[in-house]
Structure 1
Amino acid sequence: MAPPSVTRDALAVAVTANLPVILWGAPGTGKTSAVTALGAAAGLPVEVVVGSIREPSDFSGLPVLRDGGTWFAPPRWAERLAAGGGGLLFLDELTTAPPAVQAAMLRVVLERTVGDLTLPDEVRIVAAANPPDQAADGWDLSAPLANRLIHLDWTVSAEDVAEGFAGGFPVPEFQLKAPAGTADARALVGAFLRVRPELVLAVPDSPDRAGRGWPSPRSWEMAARAVAACEHLGAGEPVLAELVLGAVGEAAGFELLSWRRNLDLPDPQTLLNDPRAPLPERLDRLHALLGAVVAYVRSDGTTDTWERAWAVVARVARTAPDVAATAARSLARSRPEGATLPETMLELAPVLRSAGLLR
């Protein structure tokens, strides 16, 4: 289990990247006060919604007649967040919310929708829960709701509590600007899943395991955004591990982190500038490298870079045509306006046909 300081930093990174996150911890350990302090430090209005005292209509909206039709009126907390253009929605005591209330929360967490009101994109979502055996009339978290959140274990140490009483409890510093580099991180995760396709979806077979992080396309997307945020903010490996494991679970998360550490890929810009730069031999590394090249090309957006990328694809096609075909498909979709097809593409006719780009 990570030290409390790592968990606090992971929470700050998740809020920065606008990733929905849930804190798991025993009652009385300061989860609520930490989240409200975090919101205050960031200048974000905090709306606390306690699951045990809410009804499904508090999230799905209350049906009312309006202009001859039915309108699902949002609650006041949602209207305040919408009027403010952003804020922090804190869903407290989630495991005291019965299944019907948890089901109503799904659209709030994933789509930022409350009744017929759509919350601004700048609304951050943090939840907190006690383990079901420690919660009053506790319920397991439903698998669909659990899979929409990054799970962090909230712990306290005697030393941290003593220092907090003496000098105040620390609040992590963070920025609200959206992290860059998400395309690179998604390419990295996509390359990993090509190597381990059985990890794309692994629904747990027990309610307690299904109520925490587990692999699905949705949770892998959250893991990719967490990787991008950590790299952008300079967060350490322990913070990255907390977020990735919290998104997709320990088994799949540890595999991704280990694979990422051992990639040792050349820089995409170096490869585009030097046609003789060495290429990795392993197929998983080639997948990751070409994914990074395509992400760089999309970010750069220039015709010259797009055309030079085809030379890299052509080199890979000589030894790994299947890998090249995947990259060719992505590059073709990223063609800048006015770009002409480079002569290099003539060498790629078989690859382009297999990618569905030539008849």
Structure 2
Amino acid sequence: MAAPAVIRQALATAVSADLPVILWGAPGTGKTSSVVALGAAAGLPVEVVVGSIREPSDFSGLPVLREGGTWFAPPRWAERLAAGGGGLLLLGELTTAPPAVQAAMLRVVLERTVGDLVLPPEVRIVAAANPPGQAADGWDLTAPLANRLIHLDWTVSADDIAEGFASGFPVPEFDLKDAAGPAETAAARSAVGAFLRVRPELVLAVPDTPERAGRGWPSPRSWDMAARAFAACEHAGAGEAVLAELVLGAVGEGAGFELLSWRRDLDLPDPATLLADPGARLPDRLDRLHALLGAVAAHVRSDGGADSWERAWTVVARVAHTAPDVAASAARSLARSRPEGARLPTTMLELAPVLRAAGLLR
């Protein structure tokens, strides 16, 4: 069980990265008050929407006639978030919401859409739930809704509670960071993609019981959340414990532990260092080559310079001698990001078979 401080930091990192997250914990453990404190720390107004007292129309919109057509009118809480330009939406008591209400929440969590109103991109989503056995008339979380969230187990410390009774409960503190950039996110996605080439059976593994389907499990969507969590943790300098909570919360323990173990064993050279010395030693394993070339392509896109783009082709050419399939994947990525004024390097002549396999030559 992770320490409360680790869970708080994982929650703050997820909110900073715009990753929808759900806090699982027993009643009366301060989930709602902590989320309200997080909103205050982030300077975001908080709207608390409790699932047990809502109808599907509170999320899908109430149909009304408007200008000769039907308008799915959003509820007031959504209008307030839209008018404020952003905020933190807390979906409380999720396991007291029946399946019909959970189904209506799907577009809210994934697309930030309530009825015919699209919420601003600055709206962040946090949910809270008691385990179904501890909730009033509890329901398991439906698999589609569970797969849209990162699942964190909310914990409390007996020492903290005892100290709070003795001297008062302090407002929880949250260390909020800015979001990772596009290059960092692209590099993390490339690394996760390289892992899934090694373990393709983990791309999609729908659980076989409602209980397991109601928590984190592997799908393309949850792998993308795991990649974004990687980027956010790298950018914020979060520790391994925080990263583990977010990755396991996205794709489940089995798949998540495999990804974390694989990542620790990568030991890849820095893309900038490799481009400065294209003759540097390359990894032997295919999965490491995939991860390395993905990181190089992400670095080149971020750099935007013609020199970096041209140097990257030298690395691709070296890989092509031993792993043409890996080189072809990187070639497609580089070809899409050619900077203005970049010359086609002479090494591309050696890559004709690879470029043809990548669909870049006829």
TM-score (norm 1): 0.98
Aligned to 1:135: 135
Report SS of the residue matched to 1:168. coil
Counterpart AA for 2:322: T
Cα distance, 1:204 vs structure 2: 0.5
Of 306, 310, 314, which aligns to 1:311? Answer: 314
Counterpart AA for 2:344: L
Aligned to 2:26: 26
Cα distance, 1:336 vs structure 2: 1.5
Cα distance, 1:303 vs structure 2: 1.2
Aligned to 1:329: 332
Of 332, 341, 353, which aligns to 2:356? Answer: 353
1:191-231 CA-to-partner distances (Å, cap 9, x unmatched) read 11111111111000110000000000100110011111111
Aligned to 1:144: 144
Counterpart CA distance in 2 for 1:164 and 1:279 is 55
Counterpart CA distance in 2 for 1:2 and 1:263 is 25
Aligned to 2:46: 46
Aligned to 1:288: 291
Counterpart CA distance in 2 for 1:108 and 1:176 is 24
Alignment of 1:147-166 (within 5 A): 147-165=147-165, 166=167
Structure 1, unmatched stretches of 5+, are none
**What is the total number of aligned residue pairs between the two structures?**
359
Aligned to 2:174: 173
Report SS of the residue matched to 1:7. helix
Whether the 8 Å contact between 1:12 and 1:172 is mirrored in structure 2 is no
Alignment of 1:2-13 (within 5 A): 2-13=2-13
Of 243, 247, 250, which aligns to 1:247? Answer: 250
Counterpart AA for 2:142: S
Aligned to 1:95: 95
Q: Does 1:320 align with 2:361?
A: no
Q: Does 1:119 align with 2:119?
A: yes
TM-score (norm 2): 0.97
Aligned to 1:72: 72
Counterpart CA distance in 2 for 1:221 and 1:129 is 23
Q: Does 1:183 align with 2:183?
A: no
Whether the 8 Å contact between 2:90 and 2:127 is mirrored in structure 1 is yes
Counterpart CA distance in 1 for 2:93 and 2:276 is 54
Whether the 8 Å contact between 2:37 and 2:171 is mirrored in structure 1 is no
Counterpart AA for 2:172: V
Counterpart CA distance in 2 for 1:332 and 1:259 is 29
Cα distance, 1:167 vs structure 2: 4.9
1:92-129 CA-to-partner distances (Å, cap 9, x unmatched) read 00000000000000000000000000001110100000
Whether the 8 Å contact between 2:150 and 2:250 is mirrored in structure 1 is yes
Counterpart AA for 1:173: F
1:228-258 CA-to-partner distances (Å, cap 9, x unmatched) read 1111111100000000000000000001100
Counterpart CA distance in 1 for 2:235 and 2:201 is 29
Whether the 8 Å contact between 2:51 and 2:101 is mirrored in structure 1 is yes
Report SS of the residue matched to 1:318. helix
Counterpart AA for 1:186: R
Cα distance, 1:174 vs structure 2: 3.1
Cα distance, 1:342 vs structure 2: 1.1
Counterpart CA distance in 2 for 1:277 and 1:199 is 32
Counterpart CA distance in 1 for 2:361 and 2:317 is 16
Cα distance, 1:339 vs structure 2: 2.3
Aligned to 1:86: 86
Across the aligned residues of Structure 1 and Structure 2, the Cα RMSD in angstroms comes to 1.0
Distance change >3 Å, CA 172–CA 345, structure 1 → 2: farther
Structure 2, unmatched stretches of 5+, are none
Counterpart AA for 2:174: E
Counterpart CA distance in 2 for 1:132 and 1:173 is 28
Whether the 8 Å contact between 2:188 and 2:230 is mirrored in structure 1 is yes
Of 247, 268, 273, which aligns to 1:270? Answer: 273
Q: Does 1:231 align with 2:197?
A: no
Bigger Cα displacement from structure 2, 321-330 vs 177-186: 177-186
Report SS of the residue matched to 1:260. helix
Whether the 8 Å contact between 1:16 and 1:174 is mirrored in structure 2 is no
Tell me the percent identity: 84
Cα distance, 1:171 vs structure 2: 2.4
Cα distance, 1:340 vs structure 2: 2.5
Distance change >3 Å, CA 170–CA 235, structure 1 → 2: farther
